[in-house]
Amino acid sequence: MSWFKREDGEYEPGSTGSVPDAADAAGRNVRTEGLWIKCLGCRQVVWKAELEANLNVCPKCQHHFKIGAQQRISMLLEPGYELVDQGLRSTDPLKFTDVKSYKSRLRKAQEQTGLNDAILNAVGMLGPHPVVLSAMEYSFIGGSMGAVVGETIARAADRARTTRKPLIVVAASGVARTIEGVGTLTQMTKISTVLCQLDGAPVPDICVLTDPTTGGVTASFAMLGDLNIAEPGALIGFAGPRVIEQTIRQKLPEGFQRSEFLLERGFLDAVVHRRQLKAYLVRALEFLHV
């Protein structure tokens, strides 16, 4: 388990740096591989089942682990929701290949996640409110935004406008998927345009920024909500901190580009713990919905 790296005082002397196998009542070793996970926040070892029961938030330090689009939808919507806009597939317009072909990357991501692309749209009830929910999937090529992601969010915004249901977008994205060519960059303007049209309808648009929300997604729809809220500790920005430091030749302050830092400076409306997120959204919709 090479992902365990020993740090000062973290393990007893003589420890191998891996999680020791547990011993059952008869003293036999029991395989525990895959049952434990190391928290990136407190660097403690956490029981995976306990973590999952806690909405993938570390019970020791409250670090918010990434969660998938399907889990996010199940977490927020009542049972009986419907997945929509499922038929879109990337066409690989540049026939792009680096160390691997884009086609094979796509195929692998599709197999691993069971999704067509890095996003899922759903319609359903968020508490007592009918909503359109669009959730991004970070584990699908880093949640990168290509033509399918852009079009799916645009369709969610159109659906919200025509059915007069509030739009909730949960963002989780590393980059724009530039290997799809210039069409990727036009997604930002397309989504901004449909959100602008939504502005004229009497329905709110709420963006939930999760770790990480960067690049073209931050530069377009993630910051265009009537309410822009974030999960604690989420990395939110356009360019990465190293690029900014090299450009401005200054050391960046502690916590730069994290949710709490952005909230203090007025870029966000609230930082909401995952456990309170659904209740917060229900309250916000009661307040905002006309």
CB atoms within 10 A of CB 72: 24
Residues 114-143 binding Zn ion (CB under 5 A) are none
Pick the closer one to Zn ion by CB: 7 or 82: 7
47 binds Zn ion (CB under 5 A): no
Distances (CA, A) of 40 to 44, 58, 211, 242: 8, 9, 12, 20
Size of the site for Zn ion (CB under 5 A): 7
Report d(CA 222, CA 171) in Å as an integer: 6
Q: How far is the CB of 66 from Zn ion (least distance, A)?
A: 14
**Residue span binding Zn ion (CB under 5 A) among the ranges 61-69, 160-168, 205-213, 264-272:** 61-69
CB contact set of 213 (below 8 Å; sequence gap of 6+): 171, 172, 173, 222, 230, 234, 235, 236
At position 90, the amino acid (one-letter code) is: S
Query: x/- binding map, residues 167-186, to Zn ion, per CB under 5 A?
Result: --------------------
Report d(CA 71, CA 275) in Å as an integer: 14
Contact between 191 and 221 under an 8 Å Cβ cutoff? The reply is yes
278 binds Zn ion (CB under 5 A): no
60 binds Zn ion (CB under 5 A): yes
Residues 19-38 binding Zn ion (CB under 5 A) are none
Q: How far is the CB of 71 from Zn ion (least distance, A)?
A: 19
Report d(CA 212, CA 234) in Å as an integer: 6
61 binds Zn ion (CB under 5 A): yes
Pick the closer one to Zn ion by CB: 8 or 82: 8
39 binds Zn ion (CB under 5 A): yes
**Residue span binding Zn ion (CB under 5 A) among the ranges 54-62, 73-81, 250-258, 267-275:** 54-62
Q: How far is the CB of 60 from Zn ion (least distance, A)?
A: 5
Q: How far is the CB of 28 from Zn ion (least distance, A)?
A: 30
List helix spans (H) across the chain. Answer: 48-53, 69-76, 102-113, 147-163, 182-199, 215-218, 241-248, 259-264, 274-288
At position 160, the amino acid (one-letter code) is: A
42 binds Zn ion (CB under 5 A): yes
58 binds Zn ion (CB under 5 A): yes
243 binds Zn ion (CB under 5 A): no
Report d(CA 42, CA 30) in Å as an integer: 26
Residues that bind Zn ion (CB under 5 A): 39, 41-42, 58, 60-61, 63
